[in-house]
Amino acid sequence: MFSFFDILTEALGLILSWDRALSEIVLLSLRVTLTAVALACLIGLPAGALIGAFRFPGRTIVTVILNALMGLPPVVVGLVVYLMLSASGPLGVLGLLYTPTAMIIAQTILVTPIVAALTKQVVEDLHGEYAEQFASFGLRAHDRIAALLWDARYSLLTVALAGFGRAVAEVGAVLIVGGNINHVTRVMTTTIALETSKGNLELALALGVLLLTIAVIVNAAVMALRASAVRAAYA
């Protein structure tokens, strides 16, 4: 059968024999996931901050729904986006099905609740500390949100990383809306699923090791950015 040594050898070989097909897959993975995370942050950070910093009727219900959405099954998101983008669906005329854009849409839907719910928690804690001072400054709502997001920026990097982790490891949604089309919508996770179904378990696991390595590199890069920013950001 196979051993972990074989898998690591295979992974190493995969990286050493890095070819265009592999870099295409890796780059598409990063492009789709990073774009989805950026979009999710664009929506989720202000939304989470609003819910975290202000009291309004229905806030508890919104929070419960948001927390529940963190557990959205990717396949369900994939199906919903498929039904929207299908030629028979309401957005079919856009012709987005089986494109990277469709994958970005699905992952954005998947990641936004995570970013919003975690941002809500971070901002709520920080706002507990700042609320009186902000009231004393006579700060308006949008200035409050901006100040809270800015002051929580290092915690929010971790929030973005949580979203990245969810998106980069996700296969169910991108498989359905992307179609795993070679050279067009094939990303690391769908390739792993494909190689597994071909019975190429060593190759699938080697790709898994590569995916993990890339996730570690992205995390390390963000953390390094964070560390240097913490040192220097006080200008």
Q: Catalog residues that contact other proteins under the rule CB under 8 A.
A: 1, 31-32, 34-36, 38-39, 41-42, 86-89, 92-93, 95, 97-101, 104, 129-130, 132-133, 135-139, 143, 147, 150-152, 179-182, 184, 194, 196-201, 203, 229, 233-235
Kindly state the smallest distance separating residue 95's Cβ from other proteins, in Å: 7
How many whole angstroms separate alpha carbon 64 and alpha carbon 41? Answer: 20
Q: Based on CB atoms, which residue is closest to other proteins, 50 or 130?
A: 130
Q: Given the complex with other proteins, which of 34 and 69 has the nearer CB atom? A: 34
The three-class DSSP label of residue 71 is coil
Choice between 113 and 179, CB closer to other proteins: 179
Looking at beta carbons only, is 15 or 198 nearer to other proteins?
198
Q: How far apart are CB 160 and other proteins at their closest, in Å?
A: 11
Query: Shortest distance, CB of residue 18 to other proteins, whole angstroms?
Result: 20
Q: Helices (H), strands (E): how many in the chain?
A: 10, 0
Instruction: Pull the structure tokens for residue 146.
Output: 């901006």
What does each C-alpha distance from 107 to 32, 79, 83, 116, 213 come to in angstroms? 8, 12, 15, 14, 21
Shortest CB 46 distance to other proteins, Å: 13
**In angstroms, rounded to a whole number, what is the distance separating the alpha carbons of residues 207 and 213?**
10
